[in-house]
Chains A and B, each alone.
Chain A
């Protein structure tokens, strides 16, 4: 029997939800809090009338109750009604009073105590927060053995186990073993450039369905929890670099707000809007106007953008300074970006090396040769962009 995860989009990825008796690992890059996923699943299941528990070896139960309140979820009432309980593996170790149905005062007790907790919530859900802390207490081998035993026990009891895991700098082999110990792996990644500017989750493996390669970008709100959003991608660059054509080339659908300058050539006067869907990545695309008199729009368009394509006309190096100015005005220094060297098919087009040299760009910013009109290099540009976004 499959039950909803109560995480938006995750149920679509998982073919309806999470089957009873299975284990799900949320594997988060340091800097992203993934415990909200576990808490939101638990809260949803409690509202459906199921029972559950939280094993914590990080925050104390009182802090978790406080967090739940901030999300607008009433954990205390469920504790009072004996729908949910804590396995407190935190308080004793920091000298606070222990709280919960079970408590841990010695790490050697963990395996058996959690098994008791699983036994108490048949067809329910248990949240294990945090598996990575457990590793450094128990060691790699004992942790793996413990997970296997819990998962086997949970399967018999039809209890879903949700593991919260922070991917610190462990050996790759250990990470692989942890990942293969569970029925379903959800990666929680950052989108960053200097700092974290976004976060997304993706189902990497699942024993009951074939995962898509789609990443859902999300933010966490209080109250509310995990919320999905469609990210915004900027396409910017100097006048006549080919931005509108590029927006059309990467979008399934697009519209332009433009007019014919001097009655002859179209020029964008407000923006191009497109919707990009490529290899599971979905985004709204905003193409900025290139002329300086419309620069006031750039700041508005730049808000909440998670990445940018900077278009330059490969045949016109005199416009590169303007391109750099637009990177700055769009605040694109602080988001992942690639340079699309457009019109590469035209005579006099500079090589990407020459463009990098003139624009004084670091090697970390990819430059992709392309011709938006001839649809050359479009997929390469999008691949380079996704590689940057996902930090492949």
Chain B
């Protein structure tokens, strides 16, 4: 033991020296924040003036107006259909894409391009993809469905791939040793290990698709969002409130259902 009590002749380096670069970067970040607030013209007067407008909007929103319920219901049903179709198609495709992207099952020359494709699917916000699809396939639900299929693949295929990469390979080895075919190995050694996680990811993604299906309509890709946007433009704020309440009810209803689904699996 080197004696702790012994005085060493030379002073040792402090292992936690001040890093002037890091301190400088923090300072630059702080200056930039102050500059941005000034550049945007944000001050207290602007904030209080804004609150006044909000007060005006809220007073015109209440009471919500459900008199045009047929229009509301039509949008709601379309949104629900977009969410269901895009989730089923997207999750089904993701099962295969996820497997192709799993580096423990696929050689690099397959998994790397597939991973690139998944990253591409995830690189744009759904609004931007929706605009692209509205321009390429036209207004309506088809554009919305394609948008959310892409969004689903971008998210779920990656999670599926990661779940597959984390499995125990011992079970795979054992099933392979029985002479099972590749597909049987996937069915008996991989699926049992990842199935419950897949169910969790899928319910989460449906939740996300449900919200997004009420949004894609804003750019003309079908669903309740279109109804919401035109109500905004005509200053029908009481109808807007009705739509918002409907969306909240829809999401809460799914929340209730998904808790049930998770309890089953």
B and A form one assembly: no
User: Which residues in B have some Cβ–Cβ distance to A below 8 Å?
Assistant: none
